Amino acid sequence: MVSKLIKVMRLTALVACFIIALAMPAWAEMQALDDESLSGVSGQSGITLDVEFNTEVAEVAYFEDGQGIALQGVRLSSALDPEEYIEMRLALDILDDGTLAIAYKSGNQGRFSIEDIRFVDTPGVTPLTSDVSLGGLFLDFELDGLTEINGNATEYVIDTVFTLSNGRFGYRTNGNELFLDDFTLDYSAPGATLDFNLATGQIEYTSANQETELSVEAIRLSTNPANRGRSTDIDSGSTLSSYGSFWSKMASDLSIQLSAGGQEGVEGLTVDVQSTIERLDLAYGDDTDWASSGYWLGALGGAGSVSIDGLTIDILADPDSAGDPSKDNGVGLALGLDQAQVNLRFQDVVLGETKANIDAYLINSALPVSSIGSVEANLLLADGLYNGVARTNQVYLQAGGNADAGPQGLRLDTQLSLVSTNNESNFVYVDDGNALMLSRLEAYADGDITIDITAAGVQGSTEFFDGLRLGFEDLDFGYQVEGYRLGQDTGDSDALKTKQLQAATAIPGVSGGLFGLAGFPSLEGRLNGQITLGPGGNVGDEGIAINADISLTDGVMAKYLDADGNGVWLSGLNYDRHLRDMFLDLTNDGLLIYETESWGRMDVTDLRIGNKVSGASFGRVVLETYEQGSETLIVAGGAGEVCIGGRGVDATACQADGGRWDDRGGQGVSFISTRFFKQSVEAENKRNRFTWETGRIGEGTASVQNGTGLSLVFDNFTTNDGDGLNDTFGIQTERNLDVANAYVVKKAAGADSNGVVGNKGDVKVMNGDGSYRYVDPAALTSQDLNSLPLGIAVRTRTQFKEFDIDSVQLGHSSGQSDTLIYGLKFQNFDVTSDITTTVLD
Amino acid sequence: MMRSLVALVFLAFISFVVRAELASIDDSELADVTGQSGVYLSGEVSINENGGPLANGYFGDCADATKVCGARISVQTEQNGGWFVLDNIRGSIAFEGLTFQIREINSGFGGDGALFNAQVVEIGLPGTLRFDDFEYTLATSSTERPDDPGFQQVEIMGVEMSGDVTLEGNLLIFPTP
């Protein structure tokens, strides 16, 4: 009986293995099997099947604990014509050692499609088209591969190698499709094992040497409902717009354990995953021929590990159904998590390189590339506390998406908790061997994210744009770091955790990225709005077009954050930002971001010092901006060689002029921007204005009333070319960001806050063990100069021909205002600053 | 009265969003100050070292003695009136040891510290500021731009600075809305 049970389980495991192998996440390099293996697949003693399918299934459903997820309108057919057959040759053979060998080769391009994915409580009920669904999926493919299955006393041993070519994979909602077009996937996993572990009750799959390579020619969008998996529009015949190309290659090992039972009820699934990534390269290309034409953004030389513990999969009712019925979005696929840890480091992040150069670099890493340096992310997702509130990780995949977008779409009722009790979560950036750690990163999110593929137009009360739409509905979120740690890179980020903690500051060029939400020492608030990513850039045919309307309310942002939690806080922050046709393109110089039109408003109820809730306030500040045609270029490489405090083209000339020569290396990152501030359009709430208000009713309390105090208003600031007519120059700013040596001079004789003694004017020099000493500047050796403490060096050059402020007004609590200044003009500015920030001892 | 207001606004603009109260404090009062975090800044700021981006009948290359190559700030305090001008602003300032941190003030200051009992911004002055050919001209102008028709400018005084300036102590900025 037990033997029979084991056989059944092994058969089940075998089927599961097959599914896993076929559905394995992808990217692979085709790995040839040896002659000995291939010799067994001779066709002499096996069976060769030429098969043709055109199969349509109304519904395939999986039920657990009374709730089901149904794949509806499932079809396997020819990709070219769904009424035609998919053709496949299967060659099955039993090798001399008992191995079952299955060779498979497509005779044409096949298509596997799912019209709708819905949650149901009764199988086989014909759905209404208005019933909400997750949307549809399709996969086009031609397969050519071989799978060999052998068994020993304890497990199946499976060798798999295949190429999926002529591929197309898409997601479709409400007649709009986003799909990977013309992709090739090479995958090999020799020696994978599959077993049912009787002791643990788990199905175990391991693949010790799997390699994947994925090449996606284009990522396309269709907004014509008549198109289904086509590269060209069925009506116009024109090629569908593309976001660009994608390529990745990975070598890894993988272990998966599947257990019965989820987080609730008696049924469900629990998954544990462990993976070591030995090598990972990722790249996104824009207008590329995959050789010397077109440019790429690449994350190269990646390595790390991923582990997932206790990922539960259930079909459950919306948890809001009991407590908050207005947010009940029905039954969903519930993904819970005990813990997930990701540690991943990329040796080089390159900008504006050709694929040919990237390929050459991957063969020989000594070849130069336009690299900003190395990046490393260490993340631990687990239950924890954020600001004393318990947070967890749980995502419900629900049907419907945005309510106005149509019945198809995806809604993620999301709870995320990123913890860092012992600095497990952090971010590291390495510039020429100098490392900067954003230490002890903690974050959470709680709210709804919707995903739809949309077409431009107004539906209901919502304006949609062409592309992949990410919607945010009452998404509460927060993130914070404890500060920065800097030190020489050893390749082991744990070594940085012992470095001296430096207060975190907003970093020019970095802070405010990602729609004004990322890169600050701390930010919390409630997010609503949308970001739509469409195809097509401002340069060439490919690129990414972004239209966004973001609203952050009840927020608090730190511009500066001490290790003890004191900082400069924007409390009571209400922020909105709107982008129209912002284009991202990769060029020879780097990543070019062009904003056709953008406007926003940042309303800070209290600019606080110290504690973010109770700190003393400078009052309310409001910054409104309106720009057209602004652009930013992000370039690999920082300031390079600079002369601080003097003038000179080389070290000798610089020092002769009393300056200090500083070589900041070839890596780093630069942000080159041009901003055009335009005349106000009051009817559309688009304006440039800065307001400072104090003396409000309830000042200093939680119930302060904005608009009741005395305000100073700098109204309608604009740029022009110095003639008041044209505006082609704008405000041009180049920021060069490096992690570099900082020249720290002791300001007073005696012991500093760490008890290290020095004389006034002595220079801080780091010792090998992380401690430091003070050295008389006259006694500094070249080794000392190479051992200066590290800091964040920002060199900024700002130029503008004319910056005007129409008026400066004093507003009274009565509502009246007086004009203090009738015009304020700044002309002919070219300002360069070079500031290095480091820890204060 | 109007000039006072203009001066007030100018100061407010330079400090932009902060309102500051300047107070000298002695060592005993500093002993009441707690907190060791903060950042140390070093570097330089240079303005129009090689001229600005404008090239017209008034602005031009620094090598052209007939042109002004510095930056210009002009303020109109009366509607349709003349303009106060800071003209030809250029030069550089280098410093080592400007510090920024948050301090708690809960005593000292003749008893006011205990009443205040909150955090302030402390800017530690850098000790030495090195001015290199820093200059500007204070003037009045008849038009908003120096290349406008009818432009007339009266230069009131010019300032040029080179060398080291010693600045010691701290600047405390008290938030008092």
Q: For A176-235, write each residue's pLDDT tens digit.
A: 999 999 999 999 999 999 999 999 999 999 999 999 999 999 999 999 999 999 999 999
Give the tens place of pLDDT for each residue, A256-300. Answer: 999 999 888 888 899 999 999 999 999 999 999 999 999 999 999
CA distance linking residue A31 with residue A41, whole number of Å: 17
pLDDT score recorded for residue B31:
37
**How many Å apart are CA A678 and CA A718, to the nearest integer?**
5
B43 closest CB neighbour out of A608, A644, A699: A644
* Minimum Cα–Cα distance from B73: chain A residue: A826
- First-to-final CA distance of chain B: 23
Nearest CA in chain A to B175: A618
Chain B residues within 8 A of A724 when measuring between CB atoms? 144-145
Work out the average pLDDT over A421-434. 96
Residues 567-586 of A with CB under 8 A from B: 567-568
Q: Which of A673-682, A814-823, B42-51 has the highest mean pLDDT?
A: A673-682
Q: Note whether A770 and A764 are within 8 A (CB).
A: no
Question: Does A584 have pLDDT greater than 50?
Answer: yes
- Band the pLDDT of B43: cuts 50, 70, 90: confident
A–B: how many Cβ contacts below 8 A?
Answer: 229
Is the CB of residue B162 less than 8 Å away from at least one CB of chain A? no
Binding-face residues of A in 787-816 toward B, CB within 8 A: 791, 799-802, 808
**Which pLDDT value is given to residue A88?**
95
pLDDT, position A508: 79
Q: Do the chains contact at A747 and B127, CB–CB below 8 Å?
A: yes
Nearest CB to A835: which of B43, B59, B176? B43
Q: Which of A36-40, A508-512, B16-20, B154-158 has the lowest mean pLDDT?
A: B16-20
Q: Does B15 touch chain A (CB under 8 A)?
A: no
User: Across the interface, do B44 and A834 touch by the CB < 8 Å criterion?
Assistant: yes
Domain span at B165? 2-173
Q: Which of B42, B61, B93 to mutate to test the interface with A (most CBs of A within 10 A)?
A: B42
Exposure of A702 in the CB half-sphere (CA atoms within 13 A)? 4
Q: What are the structure tokens assigned to A60, written together?
A: 């395939």
A263 closest CA partner among A210, A338, A326: A338
Interchain pair B52, A830: CB under 8 A: yes
Residues 6+ apart with CB under 8 A from A745: A761, A762, A763, A764, A777, B42, B96, B97, B127
For range A476-498, the mean pLDDT? 93
Over range A549-577, report the average pLDDT. 93
How confident is residue A473, by pLDDT bands cut at 50, 70 and 90? Answer: very high
Q: Are B166 and B127 in contact (CB under 8 A)?
A: yes
pLDDT in tens, A711-740: 999 999 999 999 999 999 999 999 999 999
Whether A745 contacts chain B with CB within 8 A: yes
Q: How far off is chain B from A691, nearest CA to CA, in Å?
A: 9
Residue A273, classified by CB atoms within 10 Å of its CB into exposed (0-12), middle (13-18) or buried (19+), is: middle
Mean pLDDT of B125-141: 92
pLDDT tens for A668-724 read 999 999 999 999 999 999 999 999 999 999 988 888 999 999 999 999 999 999 999
CB A375 within 8 A of CB A636: no
Is residue A118 within 8 A of residue A72, CB to CB? The reply is yes
Task: Kindly report, residue by residue over A430-466, the tens digit of the pLDDT.
Answer: 999 999 999 999 999 999 999 999 999 999 999 999 9
Would you state the pLDDT for residue A45? Answer: 65
Nearest CA in chain B to A614: B118
The predicted model gives A655-660 an average pLDDT of: 84
**In percent, how much of chain A has pLDDT > 70?**
95
Q: How many domains does chain B have?
A: 1
pLDDT of residue B177: 63
Mean pLDDT of chain A: 91
The predicted structure's pLDDT at residue A429: 96
Pick the residue with more confidence: A554 or B18?
A554
Task: Convert the pLDDT of each residue in B80-96 to its tens digit.
Answer: 999 999 999 999 999 88
Torsion of CA A319, A320, A325, A330, to 10 degrees: -50
Would you state the pLDDT for residue A519?
86
